[in-house]
Copies of this chain bind each other. A is one copy, B any other.
Amino acid sequence: KRNRPMRETARTPRVREIMNPAVVTITENELVKTAAKKLLKGETNHLPVIDREGRLVGIITTYDVSKSVLRDGDALTVSEIMTKKVVTISADEAVDLAAQRLEQNNISALPVVDSSRHVIGILNAVDLGKLIQRRWQP
């Protein structure tokens, strides 16, 4: 198990310890339908969008795909509906900063990026729940 138990450390846990390193991604020119398939196959709500060099250029979520239902969605591509200004976090940041970013931006996941904007993981609000459980357990 990659999560160290809380009592071993007095310092704030880092993003790296609770992020999911297995991220499904997509590229800009793919169809929204392909995004929908990937979201459902990966059982996730968030798909970071990357360019050819693997760098983060956007994010597309089930929320955005739902929005496309209200448009004539069949020919839409990812770049037309993705969010371009992505809120991210780095793996060495404290989890409380992640929690703050999620809440302040009203979003439920943060792509974890390295210094060259490669996506190395994703941090989900549900993952923060793990820390809550440790906090109040006997």
Instruction: Flag if A40 contacts B12 (CB, 8 Å).
Output: no
Instruction: Flag if B129 contacts A69 (CB, 8 Å).
Output: no
Q: Which B residues lie within 8 Å of A36 (CB)? A: 66-67, 69-70
User: How far does the alpha carbon of A70 sit from the alpha carbon of B66 in the complex, in Å?
Assistant: 11
Q: Which B residues lie within 8 Å of A100 (CB)? A: 129, 133
Minimal Cβ-Cβ distance residue in B for A125: B125
Q: Which B residues lie within 8 Å of A107 (CB)? A: 126
- Judge whether A128 is part of the interface by a CB distance below 8 angstroms: yes
Instruction: Flag if A45 contacts B62 (CB, 8 Å).
Output: yes
A-B contacts, 22 of them at CB < 8 A, read A36-B66, A36-B67, A37-B70, A39-B66, A40-B66, A45-B45, A45-B62, A61-B62, A69-B73, A95-B132, A96-B132, A96-B135, A96-B136, A96-B137, A99-B130, A99-B133, A100-B129, A102-B129, A103-B133, A107-B126, A108-B126, A131-B132
